[in-house]
Structure 1
Amino acid sequence: MLTAVDHVQLAAPPGSEDRLRAYYTDVLGMTEISKPAVLAARGGCWFAAGPVQLHLGVEEGFRPARKAHPGLRVTGIEAYARRLEERGAEVVWDGNLPGHRRFYSEDPVGNRLEFLEPFDPEPHGSRPTS
C-alpha cells in the first residue's frame, strides 16, 4: 500500500549542479541534503524543505519536459511568487484549477515547477443559511 511520495526526481544536464544549487537554495529556499557517497559519484544534487524532497539527477542528452512537473504546495503564495520574481525567476500565474491559486516557474535548466495553494472559494460566514 502506498503511503506517501518519498521524493520527486528531475533530470538535469551534466555540469549544471552549481546553477541548480543557487536556484533551489537561494530562490526556492530549500536546503541541500547530502547524497550517499555511491550516488554522489553520479553527479546531481538533492534538496529538501520540510517533508518535500526534490532530487536532481544528471542525464546525458537532457531535454526538459514541457508538460511533466512536480506540483509543490506552498503557504502565502503571493509572497512566495514575489520571492521568486525578486530573485530573477519568471512566474506565470494560472487560474484554471478551481479552489487553488497557482503559478508555474522553471528552474535554470528548464524543468517546469508548479506551485499551488488551496483556498476556500466561500469563506466561512459568507455562505447562505437556510
Structure 2
Amino acid sequence: MVSLSSDEHYFLGSSMDGSIKLFDLRLIQKGAIQSYAGHVNSHNNLPLVVDPSETLLMSGGEDCTVRIWSIKTGEQIFAKSVADTLFTALCWPESNLNLDGSSSLFDLNHSWGAWMGSRDGLFYMHGT
C-alpha cells in the first residue's frame, strides 16, 4: 500500500491477483476510484512506487514486466520485460540532479526515468 503525499485521503493498494487500485478514504465504502490493469500475479507482493510529481505509478509483476500507468487516468503508458526474475525494488529519482548538482542524470528529451532491481541486477530505464 502506498499513500499519496499530495492528498492524505488517497492510497494505492495491490492484491495477490495482480490488481492495483486507487482508493479515496472518504469514499471507501464505494470501493476503488481507479484501477490499473495488466499485471500477472499469483503469490507475490507487487512493489508499488509513485513518481515525485505523483502523476505516474510503477510496478513489477510475476511476468517480470515493469508497467507504468497514469495515476489520474489509469492508462498504461509503458510495459517492458527487462529481466528474467521478479523486480523486488523500484525507485523514482527524487530529482534530475546528479550528486555534484549538475542536471545530466536525465536527458531533457526523457519524460521519466526510474531504477529497478531484481536478482538479475540493477536497471535504469527512461521514457520519451
More strand by share: 2
- The two structures have a TM-score, normalised by structure 2, of 0.29
- Determine which structure has greater relative contact order: mean sequence separation of CA pairs < 8 Å that are 6+ residues apart, divided by chain length: 1
Larger Rg: 1
